[in-house]
Amino acid sequence: MFGPGSQFHAFFDDPRWALAIVRATVLEAAHPQIGAALIDNSTFVVHPWRRLRNTLVSLQRMFGPDAQVRQREAARLNRLHARLNGTDAQDRPYDAMDPDVRAWVVATLFESAVTMCRLSGQPLEQAAMEQLYAEFQAFLAAFGDEAGHLPLSLHEFWTYYDRVVEEELENTEAMRIILYKLFDHLPAPPLLNSLPTLWAAGRTVAGPLIGAITVASLPEPFRRRSGLPELPGAQTLTQGAYLAVGLARFLPDGWVRTDTITDLLALSLDSDDPRARTASALRDKVDRAAALLRLIAPLPPEPEPAATGGGQRGAEEFFREVLDQTGNGYLDWPDLAAMARELSSRLDLDEPLETRLYSAFADWWRELQPALDTDGDGRISAHEYAAAVPSLAGPALIKLAEVLFDATDKDGNQTIDADEYRALFRTAFHRDTAGTEVAYTRSAFVKDFLSFMSGRRRSTPYDPLLAQA
């Protein structure tokens, strides 16, 4: 069911999966419970590349051959989902641990994989489809959910799928954001941060195209009921896109690997990863080509990339880039929970350290809210934050820095060595002191963390940690 030889393993590095996963995400977001949870808690609008990488790493672990890794990842995801509950704008409850909701997420992944093959002219044979469905059933079972929320047989699945599409899915805000806003405003991945004009030009073309392809691939009853516009010729365009992207499968082995591509997109150019040197050289060539193009056909000058070496940043900029993780214009508990979630994922924390980190963020929120929430609406606006010009380095933030140090210091020797540093920041550690015994002490770590979080100073390692897309 898992690992090499499984149907899903063959699909994971298939470039068509990039289109299929967008489609599956739209169908998930159209479920009212999932859509509400995404709007309230997710960072997918502001930090899409971070979210994508974390999702792919999780899928690799869940569908990999190691049962212990799979059980550990399932436990981590269960803890994460247990923290996601609330009510939507219509006062309807949502709960990420609802077994019917979890079954629908798995259903969208399976059905989108089947649709991916059909649209690219290579429909799955019945035996292969049965095998893939059994793998997704095993995937759901790994979370400990009781059988029955996902139909037991493939024949029953299609009746279940049609019923949910026709009776439960809605034109949710989260779905509309994914289709019409996400790609229009998609920030550049870290590797392309220094090429904003080139990225914006590509996004302007690709965004509407991906949206049109995705809409055309959705079930027709749902498109009609939700009033989703379908462009003339979109069905042909969709089939052509899946077919064209699928041709990349015939490239030499190793050229198209999902984990390699996502790692490169998230790669910091000051990392000591050998690939960073190659990426940096490639970027220099692109810069020279762009300069030559501007000589031939002058374009508006590209904005200078933001400095990251320790300069001051304004309060509203800090609020937007660091504190407002969900991108809704306010600071509230889901934003700090998103920080805890990202740090826990980077450090691959187990209990009880994960809970300690979440609790430290919760204590910080309880310290911030009464001090900054001047209108008493339960959240902090950018204006409230900027007007107060607060010093955030209170006791709770100091405690948070201490807990984060303990979580990073895996061997408990009260210093952070190069490997521990890299696990948190994914970049080099004291490159200029190679060969010497230099470590990051607790006091230095706490001082730097507080300086970044309260002094609003840019920091080469901390900016990518919480502000990176």
The domains found in the chain, sorted by start residue, are: 7-250 (no CATH), 267-296 (no CATH), 315-467 (1.10.238.10)
The DSSP element (H or E) to which 286 belongs, if any, is: helix 274-296
The predicted structure's pLDDT at residue 202: 82
Residues 6+ apart with CB under 8 A from 405: 416, 442, 445, 446
Residues 6+ apart with CB under 8 A from 371: 388, 390
Interatomic CA distance for residues 22 and 206, integer angstroms: 13
The type of residue at 294 is R
Which band of pLDDT confidence, cut at 50, 70 and 90, is reported for residue 41?
A: very high
| Residue 350 backbone class (left: φ over 0; alpha: ψ -120 to 50; beta: rest) | beta
pLDDT tens sequence across 237-260:
888 888 888 777 666 666 666 666
For residues 163 and 45, the model is more confident at 163
Q: What is the mean pLDDT of residues 299-313?
A: 48
- Asked if the model's pLDDT at residue 430 lies above 90, the reply is no
On the question of a cis peptide bond just before residue 301, with omega within 30 degrees of 0, the verdict is no
For residues 389 and 183, the model is more confident at 183
pLDDT tens sequence across 26-39:
999 999 999 999 99
Which band of pLDDT confidence, cut at 50, 70 and 90, is reported for residue 466?
A: confident
- Asked if the model's pLDDT at residue 271 lies above 70, the reply is no
Which band of pLDDT confidence, cut at 50, 70 and 90, is reported for residue 305?
A: very low
| DSSP-derived secondary structure letter, 297 | S
For residues 451 and 220, the model is more confident at 220
The predicted structure's pLDDT at residue 255: 63
For residues 178 and 259, the model is more confident at 178
Mean pLDDT of the chain: 84
- Asked if the model's pLDDT at residue 152 lies above 70, the reply is yes
The predicted structure's pLDDT at residue 2: 87
Q: What is the mean pLDDT of residues 96-113?
A: 96
Q: What is the mean pLDDT of residues 159-169?
A: 96
- Asked if the model's pLDDT at residue 133 lies above 80, the reply is yes
Tell me the sheet residues that pair with 381: 330
pLDDT tens sequence across 203-234:
888 888 888 999 999 999 999 999 988 778 88
3-state secondary structure of 331: strand
For residues 185 and 158, the model is more confident at 158
Which band of pLDDT confidence, cut at 50, 70 and 90, is reported for residue 306?
A: very low
Task: Answer whether 113's CB lies under 8 Å from 11's CB.
Answer: yes
Tell me the sheet residues that pair with 116: none
- Asked if the model's pLDDT at residue 467 lies above 70, the reply is yes
The predicted structure's pLDDT at residue 276: 60
Interatomic CA distance for residues 325 and 43, integer angstroms: 6
Angle ∠(113,118,119) on CA atoms, nearest 5: 100
- Asked if the model's pLDDT at residue 22 lies above 80, the reply is yes
Q: What is the mean pLDDT of residues 413-425?
A: 91
Interatomic CA distance for residues 270 and 436, integer angstroms: 20
Which band of pLDDT confidence, cut at 50, 70 and 90, is reported for residue 311?
A: low
- Asked if the model's pLDDT at residue 289 lies above 80, the reply is no
Which band of pLDDT confidence, cut at 50, 70 and 90, is reported for residue 102?
A: very high
The predicted structure's pLDDT at residue 187: 82
Angle between helix axes 99-119 and 32-41 (nearest 10 degrees) is: 100
The predicted structure's pLDDT at residue 433: 41
The dihedral through the CA atoms of 146, 147, 148, 151 has a sign that is: positive
- Exposure letters 26-51 (e unless 16+ CB within 10 A, then b): bbbbbbbbbbbbbbbbbbbbbbbbbb
Which band of pLDDT confidence, cut at 50, 70 and 90, is reported for residue 309?
A: very low
- Asked if the model's pLDDT at residue 432 lies above 50, the reply is no
